[in-house]
Amino acid sequence: MRLFLAAALLALPTALRAAPISFDEALRLAEIRAPELRAREASVDAATSAAIAADRLPDPKLDLAIKDLPVTGPDAGRFNRDDFTMQVIGISQEFINPAKRRARALRAHADIDVAEAEQAVAAQDIRLATALAWIDLHYAKRRLKELDLLDGELDDLQATVSARLASGAARPAQALEPEQLRAQLADRRSALTADIARYRAQLTRFTGDTAADTTGDLPPLAVDGDALRAGLAALPLLRAYDARTLAADAETGLARADKRPDWTVNAAYGRREPNFGDLVTVGVTIDLPLFAKKRQDPRIAARASEATRARLDREAAEREVAAALSADLAMHRMHDEQLANARTRLVPLAKQRAQLDLESFGARRLDLGTALLSTLALAEAEVDALAREGEVARDAVRIIFTYGEARR
């Protein structure tokens, strides 16, 4: 069904898919259209199909032979002239010992678990990358809008300067100062425009929309550190390590099963010269694992060591994830405090200073350059506050999608 929906969406005309998308819609499109996820689905299908035949017996074998044909003497190269030559047809079936078949089945199901775990990890990575691309584009557009608002304020300031020039209250060089500020804003605008193009390309990369754009606001993102720590064991990354550990245990069981013999049952019918009777042969062939100390036991020890390594790798991964979560939570708290400082202190102070300087300029108590610098500082404070807000949102998304519930 998911592949069908993906094909249907990809078949839509580009014009129908060019509308801006919300945060949740971007995640949904990435989940449907990302080729990495479809590749992982194919891996799960392959492992599931392979598991069907994992514990089955081998195919029977048909034996066709001519036995005891003379190659010297008076009957050389001639059939049915003595009582030895036979035309034989037979069939044989190999029977794998039940322990080995069970071990192969466990190994095949472990492969399915590994494929599903890798699929979950890939899905988590795609959703995280899509969410971050959406947030980066959303906040870059908002920062650009702030610069546009400042550009509009400069028009009013330019009119004030022109009036003062006409009255002779300002120096001619002061008429250039608003334009210099516009040139500085143009540099900032160029950088933001490039960022927007880069973030839009990232969003297109995951959603498949050639004209990807954002709409709406970011959904509320609550970060609960205690709940995240309690649920670390269920992370796709750690589940992948668990699946690899089960696969290593299955390999160990398969190596142990090699110490139990397999056997083959065979039957054959031999047709001789009509003067002599036909023959029937029935037999059993049994493996003899007599030298286990130098054959099976070393392989068992090797597989057991690999299983131990898998468990230790899983423990190391869990410790690393726990440490990374603590570090990310600390960074998130820091960015949240910086955002609060910008909203409650830096921006209001910059706004108050810019207003006072403009009033002083209007009252001819301050030069235009200082007033413009205060206006630029206000714009930078507001843009910086948006950047901090975007950083807090990125932290929250990265933490929730990495350590918490990845599917919204």
Write the CATH number for 22.
1.20.1600.10
Give yes or no for residue 280 having a pLDDT over 80: yes
Q: Domain for residue 408, yes or no?
A: no
Distance CA 305, CA 303 (A): 5
Q: Domain for residue 77, yes or no?
A: yes
Query: Which pLDDT value is given to residue 137?
Result: 93
Question: For residue range 208-266, what is the model confidence (pLDDT) as tens digits?
Answer: 888 888 988 888 888 888 999 988 888 989 989 999 999 999 999 989 988 888 899 99
Distances (CA, A) of 333 to 124, 225, 246, 319: 23, 11, 38, 21
Query: Which pLDDT value is given to residue 184?
Result: 77
Distance CA 334, CA 228 (A): 18
Q: For the chain, give the percent of residues with pLDDT over 70.
A: 84
- Our count of domains for the chain comes to 1
Distance CA 245, CA 307 (A): 6
Quick one: pLDDT band at residue 175, thresholds 50, 70, 90? low
**Separation of CA 172 from chain center:** 60
Our CA dihedral for 11, 15, 19, 24, rounded to 10 degrees, sits at: 0
In DSSP terms, which residues pair with 269 in a beta bridge?
89, 280
Longest dimension (CA), the chain: 139
Q: Domain for residue 330, yes or no?
A: yes
Quick one: pLDDT band at residue 329, thresholds 50, 70, 90? very high
**Separation of CA 213 from chain center:** 22
Q: Domain for residue 119, yes or no?
A: yes
CB-based contacts of 1-10 (< 8 A; 24+ apart in sequence): 2/32, 2/41, 3/38, 3/41, 5/32, 6/32, 6/33, 6/38, 9/33, 9/208, 10/208
Structure tokens at 101: 């078949």
Domain that holds residue 71: 2-403
Q: Domain for residue 103, yes or no?
A: yes
Quick one: pLDDT band at residue 19, thresholds 50, 70, 90? confident
Query: Which pLDDT value is given to residue 4?
Result: 44
Q: Domain for residue 62, yes or no?
A: yes
Q: Domain for residue 96, yes or no?
A: yes
